């Protein structure tokens, strides 16, 4: 099936034991976990055996989700079902963008894992400098939300779906924005348990050292375009890909625009690869007519059945 996009989830979807079935059943997936252990000692053990508190630590969480996502991708690519699709785009939510880059051939797994490890370290260091916060806003007008955030100095982290937007920034400013948004009639405002204000200007101190890591990293022209979180535009230029990864740390994640852009380009089928079904839920809220499949375990690949979807 043509017009298929491969999607990869971000942080928060982690669970102890994720990917173990792929490790045990797919030589291609096992090779990815083994390579990961050479770069981050004991990573597979934490992914498979936990404890959950350790897996949730940024140092293991981001590399763990990324490694599982690529392992599941490799198992899928080695399966006969993969021959039924022709990927036309890849994209990932925040951290997921790194697995998307591996999927489209812009970077190899080991190089990308080193970047993910450095990214998580620099972001964690940035969280120690100023108390940041984040909150998810459900059921509220986008323009009104942006106005309120600007008025109190909060920022927008993620445009996840038409009715789910995540705000970020200095903790007191996020609290102030949350109070005003609730007062203005939002369905729900949920404070998130996070260590810092991700995708905000408070992460700026992570950008320079991470940019230096990016400069040392080899990127290739991808086999098909990746859509960046930063601008939701299809990208094939290695230098622009590198720049977008640096910008991504402080920029809003344009997920609604990403899905919409792929749909306008003729994408009818989306395959979410990695832990959880968060992206499937978000796409359902963007456009229920789109086909979305999940690959979290080997039997998910076996059961894939692609149907023709009319764009009329």
Q: Which residues are annotated as catalytic?
A: 94, 199
- Report the half-sphere exposure of 76 (CA within 13 A, side-chain side): 27
DSSP structure string for 41-97: TTHHHHHHH--HHHHHSHHHHHHHHHHHHHHHHHHHHTSGGGGG--EEEEEESTTHH
Strands (E), the chain: 4-8, 87-92, 132-138, 155-161, 164-170, 188-191, 226-227, 234-235, 269-273, 291-295
198 and 156 in contact (C-beta within 8 Å)? no
Distances in Å between the Cα of 290 and the Cα atoms of 3, 81, 145, 268, 306 are: 12, 20, 27, 6, 12
Give the span between the Cα atoms of 101 and 39, in whole angstroms: 19
Instruction: Give Cα 122 distance to the centre of its chain.
Output: 17
Burial class (CB in 10 A: 0-12, 13-18, 19+), 267: buried
Which H/E stretch holds residue 27?
helix 27-39
Q: Smallest Cα–Cα separation from 159: which of 189, 175, 137, 132? A: 137
Backbone angles phi, psi at 4, to 5 degrees: -115, 135
Q: What is the dihedral of CA 229, 231, 237, 243, to 10 degrees?
A: -70
Q: Tell me whether strands 155-161 and 226-227 are parallel, antiparallel or unpaired.
A: unpaired
177 and 152 in contact (C-beta within 8 Å)? yes
């Amino acid at each position: 099936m043509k017009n298929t996009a491969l999607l990869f989830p971000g942080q928060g979807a982690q669970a102890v034991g994720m990917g173990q079935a792929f490790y045990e059943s797919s030589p291609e997936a096992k090779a990815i976990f083994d390579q990961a252990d050479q770069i981050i000692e004991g990573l597979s053990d934490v992914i498979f055996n936990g404890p959950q508190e350790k897996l949730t630590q940024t140092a293991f969480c981001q590399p763990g989700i990324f490694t599982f996502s690529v392992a599941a991708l490799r198992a899928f690519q080695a399966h006969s079902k993969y021959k039924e699709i022709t990927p036309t785009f890849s994209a990932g939510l925040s951290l997921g963008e790194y697995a998307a880059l591996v999927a489209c051939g812009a970077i190899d797994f080991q190089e990308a894992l080193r970047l993910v490890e450095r990214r998580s370290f620099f972001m964690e260091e940035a969280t120690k400098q100023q108390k940041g916060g984040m909150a998810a806003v459900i059921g509220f007008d986008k323009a009104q939300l942006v106005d309120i955030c600007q008025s109190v100095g909060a920022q927008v982290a993620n445009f996840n779906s038409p009715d789910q937007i995540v705000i970020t920034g200095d903790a007191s400013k996020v609290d102030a924005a949350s109070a005003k948004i609730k007062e203005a009639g939002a369905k729900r405002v949920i404070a998130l348990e996070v260590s810092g204000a991700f995708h905000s200007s408070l992460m700026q101190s992570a950008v320079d050292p991470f940019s230096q890591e990016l400069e040392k990293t080899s990127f290739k022209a991808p086999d098909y375009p990746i859509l960046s979180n930063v601008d939701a535009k299809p990208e094939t230029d290695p230098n622009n890909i590198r720049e977008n990864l640096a910008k991504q740390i402080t920029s809003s994640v344009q997920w609604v625009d990403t899905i919409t852009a792929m749909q306008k380009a003729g994408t009818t089928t989306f395959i979410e690869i990695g832990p959880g079904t968060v992206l499937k839920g978000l796409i359902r809220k963007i456009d229920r007519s789109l086909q979305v499949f999940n690959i979290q375990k080997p039997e998910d690949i076996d059961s894939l059945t692609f149907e023709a979807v009319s764009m009329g």
